[in-house]
Amino acid sequence: MSDRQFRRVFVIGAYLPNGGTLMAYHLGRILERDFGIPAIAVGVGDETANHGIHAYDLAMPLVSREQMEHEIGDDDIMIVNPSFSVCQFGWRLPGFKISYVQDFKTFALLDRKFDHYVAVSDFVGQFLHTVYDLDVRVIPPFINLDRLPDALDWEQRPGTVVLPYAKGMPEIWDLSWQRLREILAARAPYIILAEPIPASGIPQPELLSRIGAARYFLTLSAAEGFGLVPLEAMAMGTTVIGYDGFGGRQYMRPNENCAVAPYPEIEHVAELLIAAVNDPARSAEMANHGRETAAYYSYAAFRQAWIAEFSRALKIAPVRS
């Protein structure tokens, strides 16, 4: 370990209401609570900590991007998701800059002037190696296993109702959705597709409660760096069906803990969906395996992995363990 002292950590977009920035918030939380480095949220719009989607138990002070750019120095840390690559913070600003690369489609060109990169999945790690010649460690995100709402028993959930999740590139999602409905109308009209859950704007407890009331969760997001909500659906004991999103291969095991196919195999997804509804015993078995899979993605595992990663990258020791 070195004697280097860090003054603050700036977390870009920490209070934006999405899963990727929630993970960035938690990196700041770990640096403050485990390493004693005060964390500051950097606003990139009009977001606040009170957007009602996620809960934050560490109240980071909020500063504007302009204030951060004016104040940041060599003894500060910056946590940035790759979607902010267009800002070119790595080129322009001082400090030790860390990018938690949680996707591969949210940027046209990665900011390559950062000091350290970590990938969210093996797929993203391979992408970074192939395109940018980066060899990075993989640290998956976490789900709040201790805060999951109650879920209905499998037998109490509707047997022919499928709950779709409307996240993904809109044009691809709409085309996939239309084709799936056509196939089901012709081959399995008894399967009911519920109103899709919107990809944003629903508080996390409500989202999970709705998932936990369904037997089948349908994801048609063609490309994800990881895919956190399908993993949360597994945690709620719901059978996941749809596209694997590429990054979802980190935890998705087809025909074992889910029924998925790669984009754009929507005809195969339709077959998997029909088979799942027609064989509820097999679907319940996959759902049980999904719950077992989700148990590995705890906050404790995430925190310990990042403590080790920060210790290596920053060459500092935690002040508590």
- Rg over alpha carbons for the chain, rounded to the nearest Å, is 21
CA distance 168 to 88: 26
- Rounded distance, CA 55 to CA 146, Å? 14
Domain ranges of the chain: 8-142+298-314, 146-294
Q: Do domains 8-142+298-314 and 146-294 have the same CATH topology?
A: yes
Contact at 8 Å (CB) between 269 and 221?
no
Angstrom distances, CA of residue 197 to CA of 40, 105, 185, 213: 32, 22, 21, 13
Q: Which amino acid is at 65?
A: R
* Ramachandran area for residue 252 (φ above 0: left; ψ -120 to 50: alpha; else beta): beta
What is the fold of 8-142+298-314? Rossmann fold (3.40.50)
Please state whether beta strands 39-43 and 8-12 pair in parallel, antiparallel, or not at all (unpaired). parallel
Residue whose tokens read 């899979």 = 293
Q: How many CB atoms lie within 10 A of CB 162?
A: 22
Give me 85's structure tokens: 């690559």
Question: Is domain 146-294 given the CATH code 1.20.1730.10 in the classification?
Answer: no
Size of the chain, expressed as the number of residues it contains: 321
Over the chain (321 residues), what is each successive 10-residue block's mean pLDDT? 83 96 98 98 94 92 98 98 97 98 96 98 98 98 95 97 97 98 98 96 95 98 98 98 98 98 98 98 98 98 98 94 56
Spatial contact of 25 and 95, defined as CB atoms under 8 Å apart: no
Chain centre to alpha carbon of residue 93: 27
Q: How far apart are CA 277 and CA 108, in angstroms?
A: 39
Range 208-213 contact pairs with CB under 8 angstroms and sequence separation of 24 or more: 208/148, 208/149, 208/232, 208/236, 209/149, 209/150, 209/151, 210/163, 211/163, 211/236, 211/238, 212/148, 212/149, 212/150, 212/151, 212/152, 212/236, 212/237, 212/238, 213/151, 213/152, 213/157
- Model-level pTM? 0.96
Task: Label residues 283-293 b or e (16+ Cβ within 10 Å = b).
Answer: bbebbebbbeb
Tokens representing 259 are 């029924």
